[in-house]
Amino acid sequence: MQLLKRIMVIVGTLILGLQVSSVSGLAASNASSSSSKTTQSNDIGFSVAAKIPNNQIDQHNSYFDLKMTRGRQQQIQTTIYNVTNADIKVQTAIHTAYTNGNGIIEYVTPTKSYDPSLKYRMDQITKIQGPTTITIPANGSKVVTATVTMPKQAVNGVILGGWYFKRVANKVTGSVKGSMNIANQYSYVIGLKYTAGIVPQPQLKLDTITAGMQNYRRGVFPQLRNVTAVIVPKLTITARLTSKNSGKVIKNFTQKNVQLAPNSVYKVPILTGTNRLQAGSYHVRLVAKNTDHRWVFDKDFVISTAAADKYNQASVDDSGMSVGWFILFGALGMLIIGLIGLLIFFWIKKRRRA
């Protein structure tokens, strides 16, 4: 029964995945690049460019890389270009950057929680002026303005985020029984990086370690926190998970090119694979380093019986098949169902003609 539930969840995820999000020219994980006005296919239908102001740190960058001071207020602008022969609507929003579950700085999808060390969020100090859904005339353009209001308190370091743009699909005015509507979503992100005061040296902390899951895979997740207002780039993270009860090494973990957003937390995914989670006491030794810094952490933690049972039952690790196989079978199942539907349709149509 549990296996059937997992298959249904994965197939459902596959169906949702058909709503494709094509992110063109989004800000890089170190905020070193972002979208600019480029020629795109009419499938995308629009492009976006930043209007670079005078306090840009590097005029060659196409994203907003601004030198700011406390209490400063200024307007920044982007231009949305419609390259189609019809009016389009574009939604826009300001997002605060954070470190996602893959160890990459995320600008596109907002998070539901922030690290306690984050004092100033990009979406709180940068506000879009006017409506957030804009109609762009056919083969035309519109300028969108946002107002930046820096805190009156002293700010030292980097505030990071993204200016997000998504084309709004036309509403479906009718439906055909038994059909499935697939909506493509196309979006851009222009990086927002404000630097003020003295940029601090990075400081990492290892917080709690808990059992959990990522993509239906069980494991343990040390929370590696960047508690400073600075980007920490190109980290190599190594970790060793050891059972304190037996002294046995359960898992060795290595991940390269991890990028940490300012004042954010990264839940390092030490996935245990076919090793079922067992209740007991454990130890993690974690090393994070790049060319300039090295941090070493040692921490004990406990996995409860309830947590071990919960994630062992929900995991697909014991199925003997990878998530990719489940997705493949789910796709084949959808294809077969679609073919059966077509055969029934033509059979009914043939009977009516007869």
- 49: pLDDT strictly greater than 60: yes
Identify the pLDDT of residue 301: 98
What pLDDT band is residue 56 in, cutting at 50, 70 and 90?
very high
pLDDT in tens, 13-38: 333 333 333 333 333 333 333 333 33
Measured distance CA(93)–CA(74) in Å, rounded: 18
- 343: pLDDT strictly greater than 90: no
**Which range is most confident: 172-176, 315-319, 337-341?**
315-319
Per-residue pLDDT, averaged over 316-336, amounts to 65
- 195: pLDDT strictly greater than 50: yes
Identify the pLDDT of residue 172: 42
Stated length of the chain: 354
Higher-scoring residue by pLDDT: 31, 111 = 111
CATH architecture of 17-171+179-196: Sandwich (2.60)
Whether the Cβ atoms of residue 3 and residue 320 lie closer than 8 Å to each other: no
Segment among 2-11, 110-119, 274-283 with least mean pLDDT:
2-11
Identify the pLDDT of residue 317: 87
Burial class (CB in 10 A: 0-12, 13-18, 19+), 287: middle
Alpha carbon 137 to chain centroid, angstroms: 31
Identify the pLDDT of residue 320: 55
Identify the pLDDT of residue 347: 65
Measured distance CA(239)–CA(2) in Å, rounded: 31
Burial class (CB in 10 A: 0-12, 13-18, 19+), 299: middle
What pLDDT band is residue 335 in, cutting at 50, 70 and 90?
confident
- 68: pLDDT strictly greater than 90: yes
Identify the pLDDT of residue 26: 38
For the chain, give every residue range classified as CATH 2.60.40.10.
17-171+179-196, 204-318
The CATH code of the domain at 204-318 is 2.60.40.10
Q: Which residue has the tokens 């990071």?
A: 160
Please spell the DSSP secondary structure of 221-259, one letter per residue. Answer: EEEEEE-SSS-EEEEEEEEEEEETTT--EEEEEEEEEEE
Average pLDDT, the chain: 84
Return the H-helix or E-strand segment holding 288.
Answer: strand 280-289
Q: Which amino acid is at 62?
A: S
Per-residue pLDDT, averaged over 25-52, amounts to 55
- 152: pLDDT strictly greater than 60: yes
Identify the pLDDT of residue 178: 42
Burial class (CB in 10 A: 0-12, 13-18, 19+), 288: buried
Please state, as a whole number, how many other Cβ atoms lie within 10 Å of the Cβ of residue 248. Answer: 10
Measured between alpha carbons, how far apart are the two ends of the chain, in Å? 45
Whether the Cβ atoms of residue 70 and residue 153 lie closer than 8 Å to each other: yes
Q: Which amino acid is at 290?
A: N
Identify the pLDDT of residue 114: 96
Per-residue pLDDT, averaged over 119-128, amounts to 97
The SS3 assignment for 311 reads helix
CA angle 321, 324, 329 (to 5 degrees): 80
pLDDT in tens, 202-252: 999 999 999 999 999 999 999 999 999 999 999 999 999 999 989 999 999
Identify the pLDDT of residue 5: 42
> Which two tokens mark 206?
């290892």
Please state, as a whole number, how many other Cβ atoms lie within 10 Å of the Cβ of residue 98. Answer: 25
Per-residue pLDDT, averaged over 188-203, amounts to 97
Q: Which residue has the tokens 């933690």?
A: 301
What pLDDT band is residue 264 in, cutting at 50, 70 and 90?
very high
Identify the pLDDT of residue 185: 66
Measured distance CA(99)–CA(259) in Å, rounded: 7
Higher-scoring residue by pLDDT: 39, 331 = 331
Measured distance CA(178)–CA(152) in Å, rounded: 58
Identify the pLDDT of residue 348: 66
